[in-house]
Amino acid sequence: MPQRPPVSTDPLRNRGTAFTVEERANLGLVGRLPSAVETLDQQAERCYRQISSYSTDLQKYTYLDQLHDRNEVLYYKVIVDHLAEMLPIVYDPTIGDAIKQWSNDYRDSRAVYLSIDRPDDVRESFTGLGLGPDDVDLIVVSDAQEILGIGDWGVNGTDISIGKLAVYTAAAGIDPSRVVAVNLDVGTDNEMLLNSPEYLGNRHARITGQRYDDFIDLYLRTASELFPNALLHFEDFGPSNARRILEDNRDSYRIFNDDMQGTGAIVMSAVFSGLKVTKQTFAEQRLLVFGAGTAGTGMADQISAAMIRDGLTAEEAKARVWLVDVNGLVTDDMADLPNYQAAYARPAAEVADWARTDGVIDLLTVVTEVKPTVLIGTSTMHNGFPQAVVEALAAGVERPILLPLSNPTERIEVMPADAVPWTDGRALIATGIPVDPVNYNGVDFHIGQANNALLYPGLGLGTIVSGAARVTDGMLLAAAKAVADQVDPTGLGASLLPDVDNLRASSATVALAVAKQAIEEGVATKSHDNLVQAVEDAMWQPIYSGNPE
């Protein structure tokens, strides 16, 4: 068993200037701190002032990252007290910039690094943490092939695992002493990193095929054997790996793919809200997904499943979905379609007389022909929804649901400041990044953040509280409904989704719905006399409690 680090270097126990005189004496800290003994509030106010003095978000990110490694209670106190302001700093979009700089700016890191070149180290990398089988609730892992919309960042992508965990704790009170961030270093195809003297990861191309699959398998087996209660969250894997890993393992392990399932569920929430405005059913929707990768096809799966629940056959549901990717509309005569696109490919004969540009049926043509009721952007293509596309969308239906979801800011398909006037305020909009309200014709249009961060923390908490052995489709749907039920979207300019400011309360509501569903489906392994209280009790609070020794 590894020795506990000295208290002043252990961010889980360190309290800095909040240590009392007595604690300082007991902990060997006499003379190591200035005389003043502060409260947590006083410390948090100073930190907030310091953060506010920085001029760039990346500087604020760096400050908070260092605080995270120094004093976790204080770090979470500052974030929770200013959730809407801090989430875009410690998470999306600023985290994208931090990841690009990660090797250059490297100082220290709390993650577990697993290298495909050293599979024999995997077990020891976990056992070296000194945590027992009941000590871990959650592990977030990424191989960093598709970080947000900025591509392959190899070991630099470690911060996405850390950032996603920070959101779990800030938003849903997942205990930060019971989580682990993991980077799977399988190489990188990012030439810039491979040629950078600063790069800290394996200097070879991504390993693929059997060796990759064996490594994933080794991770799953080792992590779930050592920490049998942990939810294994997968983040930002490449599209074919993300889907294959989930499909092959979801019946055997407690795993969750955030980009497919979490994003699909938050989009379901936004569509539930949109349909309250249009007073339609899922079965009446025509769904167009622009950018048919991990997230986009995950949404197509959940929305077409909702159409089937509304009474359509699988064939009828499929006939109401269109995918547009780099080669335009996805049709069944295209060679080498990945299976997740082939599942929704349109019959070539059906579109034989549609207009083509350089042989491609482009987005504008599809919008004009199909008149989608829901248009989703997960393409990573900034300005992928130009004015002509947005106007064609609004010409096709009265209240289109428009979800430009690509992150970070440099990737979003259209900014609401443009889309609101282009649709004369008729579009029901939510975005992946946080966006300020748009004032148009005297009305403030509030733009909900359809980012999986608004849903996965509560889903994770509900899974942990219920001890659900699997994350089922029913649990995802319960989470989506619980998010949507928190807003009244019917007023002009109302948001489709709850405010980030209310995220802790929202996450508790989601967790309760998820835990109830897990119990109903018989996948829960824990029982509670009072589930509401169990969720409340499970939420870690950023306060100094207990004996720091």
Ligand X SMILES: NC(=O)C1=CN([C@@H]2O[C@H](COP(=O)(O)OP(=O)(O)OC[C@H]3O[C@@H](n4cnc5c(N)ncnc54)[C@H](O)[C@@H]3O)[C@@H](O)[C@H]2O)C=CC1
Q: Which of 61, 76, 91, 340 is catalytic?
A: 91
Distance of alpha carbon 190 from alpha carbon 484, whole angstroms: 39
Give which of 296, 262, 272 is closest to 498, Cα–Cα: 272
Under the binding rule (CB under 6 A), the answer on residue 291 touching ligand X is: yes
451 is in an annotated binding site: yes
**Helix, strand, or coil (residue 287):** strand
Partner interacting with residue 291 (select from ligand X, Mg ion, ligand CC(=O)C(=O)O, none; CB below 5-8 Å by kind): ligand X
Provide the 3-class DSSP secondary structure of residue 495.
coil
Minimum distance from residue 393 beta carbon to ligand CC(=O)C(=O)O (Å): 23
Q: Nearest approach, Cβ of 469 to ligand X (angstroms)?
A: 25
- Is 473 marked as binding a ligand? no
Q: Are 24 and 33 in contact (CB under 8 A)?
A: yes
Burial grade of 151 (CB within 10 A; 0-12, 13-18, 19 or more): middle
Shortest Cβ distance from residue 494 to ligand CC(=O)C(=O)O (Å)? Answer: 23
Nearer to ligand CC(=O)C(=O)O, 65 or 92 (CB): 92
**Is 91 annotated as catalytic?**
yes
23 marked as binding residue:
no
230 to 249, contacts with ligand CC(=O)C(=O)O by CB under 6 A?
236
Q: Which residue has the tokens 């294959």?
A: 244
Query: Does residue 236 touch Mg ion according to CB under 5 A?
Result: yes
- The kind and range of the H/E element at 478 are helix 473-484
- Selecting among 164, 276, 340, 344, the annotated active-site residue is 164
What is the enclosing helix (H) or strand (E) of 181?
Answer: strand 179-185
Verify whether residue 168 is a known catalytic residue.
no
Helix (H, G, I), strand (E, B) or coil at 179: strand
Stretch that binds Mg ion, among 21-29, 102-110, 252-260, 365-373 (CB under 5 A): 252-260
Crossing angle (nearest 10°) for helices 456-466 and 158-172: 70
379 binds ligand X (CB under 6 A): yes
Which of 156, 185, 139 is closest to 95 using CA atoms?
Answer: 156
Strand partners, 325: 328
> Does 146 interact with ligand X (rule: CB under 6 A)?
yes
Which of 67, 66, 88, 89 lies closest to 76 in space, CA to CA? 67
What residues between 255 and 284 interact with Mg ion by CB under 5 A? 259
Distances (CA, A) of 266 to 339, 456, 534: 24, 9, 24
What tokens were used for 136?
């871990």
Total residues contacting Mg ion by CB under 5 A comes to: 2
407 is annotated as contributing to ligand binding: yes
450 sits near ligand X (criterion: CB under 6 A): yes
Residue nearest to ligand X (CB): 293
| Residue among 222, 261, 451, 509 that touches ligand X (CB under 6 A) | 451
353 is in an annotated binding site: no
Region near ligand X per CB under 6 A, out of 81-89, 188-196, 448-456, 541-549:
448-456
Residue ranges of the binding site for (S)-malate:
407, 451
Residue ranges of the binding site for a divalent metal cation:
235-236, 259
